[in-house]
Amino acid sequence: MRQVERHRTQRVGWLRPALPDAHDGVSDAQINPGLPASAGSGWSGELSAGDRSEIIAGLVGFDATISPKFFYDHAGSTLFERITRLPEYYPTRTERAIMQRHRREISLRISAGKTVIELGAGNCEKGKALCALIRPKCFIAVDISQDFLHRAVAGLQQALPKLEVRPVVADLMEDIVLPGDLPGGKRLVYYPGSSIGNFDPEPALALLRRVCRLVGEGGSLLIGVDLIKDQAVLEAAYNDAEGVTAEFNLNALAHLNRLIGSDFDRRDWQHVAFFNRQRSRIEMHLQASVNTRVCWPDGERHFRRGERIHTENSYKYDVDDFARVLDSAGFKQHVFWTDPRRWFAVFYAQV
Ligand code: AVJ
């Protein structure tokens, strides 16, 4: 199966599942994308017209994709929290250990009085730890999962009552619009967890360039990056024995059913995750275990048994390569800290 995948990847070129306009394939007679968003099927208030067309474009493409941002409904965010505690999932605890071990040096480098902007804040646990360490005036939690974010922000506010805490719901593929009445002072963007790994090289660079502009002169970025390592270690982290990652992957189907009114039957799909060394990324897919048809209001697609929907990439970097990416994004200097096994790195970069 892996052989087949490699062949395919070369044939269709760069797969960019995180980008709405990135589907190399074309629709065929079996595929009917259905009504445009303006036709108003009224399935869900949570869904923008752009998201609906993005989802459908992903489903009808020759190589079907679901953007990883659709993992994070409330159930998905909860499942992701469970993933971070799995014995096989090393990134979260390795990053935390790095942050703890080097906390004195980190707090010395990052001067006080800042506004901290955390991207993909999730449950705000990491943001809370950073704020407890560097004591900024203001903390802005940016995340795509509105419901989850508001709860987390309330919890953080309770834990650190003197901190000005603000939630911002945003998609990192687009420009991040901050509230207009923020306190002045230097800005620090915090992007932990190696979430940058979800982006293909080009959009990753574009995001880092936007971060550069967002923090401005004198601003900085603290970012966690997962590193290339033994394939067995990498693959175990995305194929845990308890099946939580499989559950997380399959949950995207339930989320889509709610969002666009599709009728995915999760029993027809299997979790697949492997390291694509050529592209230096873990790929997650949902693979049809039977021939199956998926319908949504005025659209449908047939999937052959064995056909896959690409749901996530998680890029793994080499420290030197990531340093070069920071340079080209416009950061003038950087340092990084890593763990003794060199499994993960935390970079601090200044504009
Ligand atoms: C949140 C993107 C960093 O890539 O490791 C974990 C998501 N997917 N297990 C990762 C994820 C499956 C995670 N990131």
Is residue 207 within 8 Å of 199, Cβ to Cβ? Answer: yes
Interior/surface letters 153-173, b for 16+ CB within 10 angstroms, e for the rest: beebbeebeebebbbbebbbb
Q: What is the CA radius of gyration of the chain?
A: 20
Cβ contact 264:257 at 8 Å: yes
Could you tell me which of 236, 309, 283, 244 has the C-alpha nearest to residue 59?
309
- Residue to mutate (ligand 1; options 314, 315, 316, 344; most atoms within 8 A of CB): 314
Name the residue at shortest CA distance from atom 14 of ligand 1.
Answer: 195
With CA atoms as reference, report the closest residue to 69 among 149, 145, 178. Answer: 145
Which residue has its alpha carbon closest to ligand 1 atom 1? Answer: 195
Report how far ligand 1's centroid is from the alpha carbon of 84 (Å): 9
Kindly tell me the burial class for residue 222, based on how many C-beta atoms sit within 10 Å of its own C-beta (0-12, 13-18, 19 or more): buried
Atom 2 in ligand 1: residue holding the nearest Cα = 195
Residues 216 and 331: beta-carbon distance below 8 Å: no
Going along the chain from its start, the domains and CATH numbers come out as 4-86+232-315 (no CATH), 90-229+317-350 (3.40.50.150)
pTM metric for this prediction:
0.84
Give distance in angstroms: CA of 119 to centre of ligand 1.
14
Q: How many A from CA of 260 to the centre of ligand 1?
A: 24
Strands (E) in 99-217, as ranges, are 115-119, 138-143, 164-169, 187-191
At 116 the three-state DSSP class reads strand
Compute the 3-state secondary structure of the chain and give helix, strand, coil in percent, each to the nearest 5. 40, 25, 35
Question: Does 249 sit in the ligand 1 pocket, CB within 6 Å?
Answer: no
Per-residue pLDDT of the chain (351 residues; tens, 9 = 90+): 333 333 332 222 222 233 333 333 333 334 444 444 333 344 445 677 888 999 999 999 999 999 998 998 889 989 999 999 999 999 999 999 999 999 999 998 887 668 999 998 878 889 999 999 999 999 999 988 777 788 889 999 999 999 999 999 888 888 888 888 888 889 999 999 999 999 999 999 999 999 999 999 999 999 999 999 999 999 999 999 999 999 999 999 999 999 999 999 999 999 999 999 999 999 999 999 999 999 999 899 999 999 999 999 999 999 999 999 999 999 999 999 999 999 999 999 999
